[in-house]
Amino acid sequence: MKLPISPSMKEFVNPKDLAEAIRPDTTLVSIMMANNEIGTIQPIKELAAIAKEKGVIFHTDAVQAMGNLDVKVNDLNVDLLSMSAHKFYGPKGVGALYVRKGVRIDSFVHGGAQERNKRAGTENVPGIVGMAAALKLAYENLEEYNKHLRKLSNKLIDSVMERIPYVRLNGDRENRLPGNVNFSFQFIEGESLLLMLDMKGIQASSGSACTSGSLDPSHVLLAIGLPHEIAHGSLRITFGEDNTEEQVDYIVDNLVEIVERLRQMSPLYEDFVKKGQKA
């Protein structure tokens, strides 16, 4: 059984809303290409075109997209694009910023003339070379890699939605990162779910790595309209090239058992069942 979806939920940036939000004093629009929690892929090309019409510089955070999507800056017509190497199996601690010719930005670190006078200091040459090599490898195998990830993600989504009641898939089913899955389980507290999965050797999260130290529900899920109590029962699982279908089966079997066990300990679920309410 799926959780009801509120008509007010917004998982995509509406181009019309962007056009109305741009003011005469707006100088920059920055929109994430693909969300790191729910995997939603935004219509960047259309959004960038609106910014261009308004004479505003457009930046996209493509950290999640690079190595997962076919990203072409000229096709997207973006002015600025940022990426991080570790997202496509490159070294940690190195990234890149694409700056379209003619776009002028201030120096990030003043002093030396490194990186075209934008960031002073000795360059991390091994990191830069490693990032370039990793990105090249990622795009040489992109189609095969994505096919593998989609197979795993779809198997997980189908199995969980079939075997566990009162669950919601967060993010669009089709227009999402190929290896991203995000669920919300009603009557479940996310932290307990993560601890029990960890005991089974399953690494997952309830939000982004950036907020892993917080016990608050995901601000992304709250922003798309989920109520606090359902957002608190979220689970994010992402797949990589080394994951297998057998591992998906293992995840699902343990999720079924753990969710049922946690719900049996929930007074809210017990009261819900006694009253015969519908979620």
**Angstrom distance (rounded) from CA 55 to CA 26:** 9
The secondary structure of residue 19, as a DSSP letter, is H
Nearest to 130, CA basis, from 91, 95, 87, 93: 91
Angle between helix 245-264 and helix 267-275 axes, rounded to 10 deg: 80
Q: Which of 210, 267, 274, 276 is catalytic?
A: 210
A 10 A CB-CB count for 214 gives 12
Does the active-site annotation cover 210?
yes
Angle between helix 190-199 and helix 245-264 axes, rounded to 10 deg: 130
Tokens 């999507």 sit on residue: 69
Q: Give the active site residues.
A: 210
